[in-house]
Amino acid sequence: MDIRYRIRGGIPLCGDIAISGSKNAALPLIAASVLANGETVLHNVPWLRDITVMLRILEFLGAETSFQANTVRIRTHKIQNRKIPAELVSKLRGSIVLLGPLLSRFGEVEMAYPGGCVLGKRPVHAHIAALEQLGAKDLSSDEMLHLKGGLKSGRVILPEFSVTATENAVMAAALIDGEVRIDLAAAEPHVQDVERMVAAMGAPVEGIGTHTLLMRGQKTLKPQTHTVITDYLEAGAFIIAALVTKGKVRLHGADPEHLVSFLSVLKRMGAIVKIEGDHIFVDGELSSLKALEVRTNIFPGFPTDLQATIGVAMSQAQGVSRIFERLFEGRMAYLYELEKMGAHIEILNAHEALVIGTTLLRGRTVSSNDIRAGAAMVLAGLCAHGETMITDVRYIERGYDRFDEKLKSLGADIEKIIMEEKNTQDEDALLPLQEGKFAPLKVAR
């Protein structure tokens, strides 16, 4: 299905917006349901394509699932270990977080290599290294990931600060009867949410929010009812949207502690952003943005997933800004799309670019290169003169819950356009027909 956004820019966004639950937390929390026999209930789950695909994978394994009013229910009484085909995981990088819980519960996991956004090299070696240190044997081929063996207590030293490898290690350790220490653990807010969930299930976790974790797993865990944290990446996008359109927006539900580095950067840029209890108020009308340098880093550093949105803000700031992307290759591709709209960009190398402002952006047809780049192009369209057409919206809708509807509620002139429909077995065919119980799977078995 070819979905596009048509945006007529130049309208200041004004009003109040509620921030949705975090996709990056919800996906591993759904995977964590595999660890316990019973019904897991997750509240504040965003209504996204990636979430529905992950639930479809659990259904393929025998789980019963429902998704209604942002609440997911997963019953794992009949779940079984099965080889997960590429048809289910090739469009969802997040499915990698099933490795740990399936291996820990069944002693073996076999699945096709996950897909998702193209952000340069995103290998699985950190996941395999972590699980091997817990006793697993790597039997993977060029086509399939395959890990087998009973897990044992001990120490895991992750080869990098990988978010999903940390989550896999935590979930794998949860069913190990003994103490596991995890060093070089990622500490992002969504990782902390998974750790809190696992602890509530009965496997205590010490060091939540730090890079060293101490866990004591249990042979049996209890399913939980859990509320997913709000999405600080969505919050960041709406903050930038208010700034570049010179609007006034109040965000509800966003946690400022998840955005400490991001908010510090905005303050130095000259943005007027105020913390009002559990609200964040953005005054783009009175803000006067100036150039600065941003380097992405692991949490609590500046989030790589907000690098593209800050790039748009830099195009509206006075002076020469510099971006250093430390974590991913391929994350600068959106700058070529921004150039089409009139931004003055100098790409120095795959990880470094200059953005010279202030420039008047003009509406053009531009594409979404990945989830975060797609959101950035929406923000560019909102502040551009004239009409912008954004293609490949399927990327955006994998990461932002009803993004166009929320922007409309703030006054944006944005329209979703369905160009054509295809009767093919792509990721759209995996979506539920409506909220509630899913339609039967059509998967080669």
Q: Do residues 387 and 242 both lie within one domain?
A: yes
Q: Which residues pair with 126 in a beta bridge?
A: none
In-domain check, residue 431: no
Range of the domain at 222: 23-229
In-domain check, residue 165: yes
Q: Do residues 123 and 27 both lie within one domain?
A: yes
**pLDDT tens for each residue of 235-264:** 999 999 999 999 999 999 999 999 999 999
In-domain check, residue 433: no
How many domains are contained in the chain?
Answer: 2
In-domain check, residue 435: no
**pLDDT tens for each residue of 136-145:** 999 999 889 9
Q: Do residues 296 and 336 both lie within one domain?
A: yes
In-domain check, residue 436: no
In-domain check, residue 260: yes
pLDDT of residue 72: 97
Q: Which of 117, 145, 205, 313 is catalytic?
A: 117
In-domain check, residue 74: yes
Domain end among 229, 252, 269: 229
Q: Do residues 257 and 200 both lie within one domain?
A: no
pLDDT band at residue 437 under the 50/70/90 scheme: low
Q: Do residues 39 and 146 both lie within one domain?
A: yes
Phi, psi of 385 (to 5 degrees): -85, 125
Domain end among 208, 229, 250: 229
How large is the average pLDDT for residues 96-111?
96
Which of 9-13, 130-134, 433-437 has the lowest average pLDDT? 433-437
**HSE value, Cβ hemisphere, 13 Å, CA-based, for 100:** 32
**The pTM is what?**
0.91
Active site residue 117: yes
* DSSP line for 391-417: E-HHHHTTTSTTHHHHHHHTT-EEEEE
How large is the average pLDDT for residues 324-330?
85
Rounded to the nearest 10 degrees, the angle between the axes of helix 125-133 and helix 163-173 is 20
Query: What is d(CA 187, CA 301) in angstroms, rounded to the nearest whole number?
Result: 11
Q: Do residues 45 and 186 both lie within one domain?
A: yes
Q: Do residues 313 and 366 both lie within one domain?
A: yes
Phi, psi of 43 (to 5 degrees): -95, 160
Q: Do residues 221 and 314 both lie within one domain?
A: no
Which of 19-33, 102-116, 294-308, 351-365 has the lowest average pLDDT? 102-116
Provide the CATH number for the domain around residue 263: 3.65.10.10
Q: Do residues 236 and 184 both lie within one domain?
A: no
pLDDT band at residue 276 under the 50/70/90 scheme: confident
In-domain check, residue 429: no
Q: Do residues 69 and 170 both lie within one domain?
A: yes
Q: Do residues 205 and 261 both lie within one domain?
A: no
**pLDDT tens for each residue of 359-407:** 999 999 999 888 999 999 999 999 999 999 999 898 898 899 999 999 9
Q: Do residues 222 and 236 both lie within one domain?
A: no
- C-alpha dihedral sign at 213, 218, 221, 224: negative
Query: What is d(CA 108, CA 123) in angstroms, rounded to the nearest whole number?
Result: 20
* DSSP line for 145-208: EEEES----EEEE-SS--HHHHHHHHHHHTTSSSEEEEES----HHHHHHHHHHHHHT--EEST
Secondary element (H or E) of residue 249: strand 248-252
